[in-house]
């Protein structure tokens, strides 16, 4: 098993960006421009590495090569974005990798692009990229190319060497368990479970019993062997169940109006473990959007727009308006789920004005995380 933290360190130590890996400060998949840039790099790395994995490391300062981290990103549908725009799309995965020097809510993202012999190209345009566009990687540059090009097989030995030097050990696993339980989450109820005598999952959170169920909030769940954060949320609640072969997380989202909220199941994630040292992650979307009175939603939507207008003008807010501002991300999300098509974009556009309010900005990121998991705005 590959320790993803070691893999990232070895990639960054190997040399600057190359034809088999790229690094980014962050991904922006909320805009068509951001999606086009991401897809362009996926296309180029896939075409330039037909027989070995290629990688994108997210959360690294480009100039200093410093690991600064990024927000936890748990969109299991990122493959759908690639499939929607690329012909011969490679299989990709996005994993959240914790580092000891980063805050608990920050990780380094690792995008793994599996090798594919067929050439990937854009089957439809996005932003400034035209249909049928083909990209390849030359050194640290992603460039467009026309016509036939020679496949690059020179990276295979180098990448396999890096991956082999990133294999896990008992020492790394034990250190990971001790760090998780005794240091990073010493203030929370922490547990661990060993599967198939090979895999260790650690989780921590604040338990709360409600309607004969135990929910956990402030949840952090990691697959220690590979240093992958499976789930993290500062707000939403989850339930956890497991047996000898699997570990299941059901995420719930709290939604409501006028201080009346209910828990709605959002997504089920099941990790299945096998005797041969293999595991598989299965995800199932469970969410059914709650319906609310349209007249009330129009009133809330207009109130939110007025609040944003005051923030844009730099006007001070009353105590009542500050309370309403705390609910703005979730109420915009409810409006969007009930047919207010522009509510999502209005929320995205409000990012700069919500940043000065830490609790509101946290709710903003959570709302976008949930919306992103449901469906990309293709």
pLDDT confidence of residue 311:
93
Residue 236 CA to residue 141 CA, distance in Å, equals 40
List average pLDDT for each run of 10 residues in the chain, which is 378 residues long.
93 81 90 94 96 96 88 83 96 93 90 95 95 92 87 89 91 91 88 94 90 86 93 85 96 81 89 92 89 92 94 91 91 92 92 92 87 63
pLDDT confidence of residue 378:
37
CA 23 to chain centre: 16
Q: Are 86 and 45 in contact (CB under 8 A)?
A: no
> Which of 279, 257, 281, 280 lies closest to 267, judged by CA?
281
pLDDT confidence of residue 139:
86
Where are any strands of DSSP class E within the chain? 21-24, 54-58, 70-71, 86-87, 92-97, 106-113, 121-122, 134-138, 141-145, 189-195, 199-210, 213-223, 228-233, 237-242, 246-257, 260-273, 279-285
Q: What is the dihedral of CA 198, 204, 210, 212, to 10 degrees?
A: 30
pLDDT confidence of residue 17:
63
Q: What 3-state DSSP class applies to 8? A: helix
**The pair of three-digit structure tokens given for residue 71, joined into one six-digit string:** 């927000």
pTM (2 d.p.)? 0.85
Report the number of secondary-structure helices (H) and strands (E) in the chain.
10, 17
């Amino acid at each position: 098993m590959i320790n993803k933290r070691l893999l990232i360190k070895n990639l960054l130590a190997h040399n600057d960006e190359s034809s088999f890996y790229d690094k980014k400060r962050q991904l922006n998949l909320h805009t068509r421009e951001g999606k086009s840039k991401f897809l362009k790099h996926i296309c180029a790395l896939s075409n330039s590495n037909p027989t070995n994995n290629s990688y994108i490391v997210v959360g690294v300062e480009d100039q200093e090569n410093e690991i600064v981290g990024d927000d936890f990103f748990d969109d299991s549908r990122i493959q759908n974005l690639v499939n929607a725009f690329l012909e011969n799309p490679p299989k990709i995965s996005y994993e959240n990798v914790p580092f000891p020097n980063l805050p608990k809510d920050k990780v380094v993202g690792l995008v793994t692009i599996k090798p594919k012999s067929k050439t990937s190209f854009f089957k439809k345009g996005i932003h400034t990229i035209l249909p049928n566009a083909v990209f390849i990687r030359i050194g640290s540059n992603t460039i467009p190319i026309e016509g036939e090009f020679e496949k690059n097989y020179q990276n295979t030995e180098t990448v396999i060497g890096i991956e082999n030097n990133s294999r896990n050990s008992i020492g790394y696993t034990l250190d990971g368990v001790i760090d998780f339980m005794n240091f990073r989450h010493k203030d929370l109820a922490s547990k661990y479970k060993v599967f198939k005598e090979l895999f260790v999952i650690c989780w921590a959170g604040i338990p709360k019993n409600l309607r004969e169920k135990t929910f956990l909030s402030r949840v952090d769940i990691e697959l220690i062997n590979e240093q992958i954060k499976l789930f993290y949320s500062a707000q939403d609640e989850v339930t956890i169940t497991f047996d000898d072969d699997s570990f299941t997380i059901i995420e719930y989202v709290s939604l409501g109006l006028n201080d009346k909220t209910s828990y709605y199941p959002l997504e089920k994630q099941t990790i299945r473990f096998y005797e041969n040292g293999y595991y598989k992650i299965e995800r199932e979307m469970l969410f059914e959007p709650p319906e609310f009175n349209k007249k009330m939603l129009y009133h809330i939507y207009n109130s939110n727009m007025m609040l944003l207008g005051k923030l844009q003008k730099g006007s001070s807010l009353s105590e009542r308006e500050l309370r309403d501002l705390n609910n703005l991300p979730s109420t915009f999300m409810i409006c969007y789920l009930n047919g207010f098509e522009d509510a999502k974009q209005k929320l995205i556009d409000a990012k700069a004005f919500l940043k000065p309010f830490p609790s509101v900005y946290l709710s903003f990121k959570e709302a976008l995380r949930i919306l992103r998991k449901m469906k990309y705005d293709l």
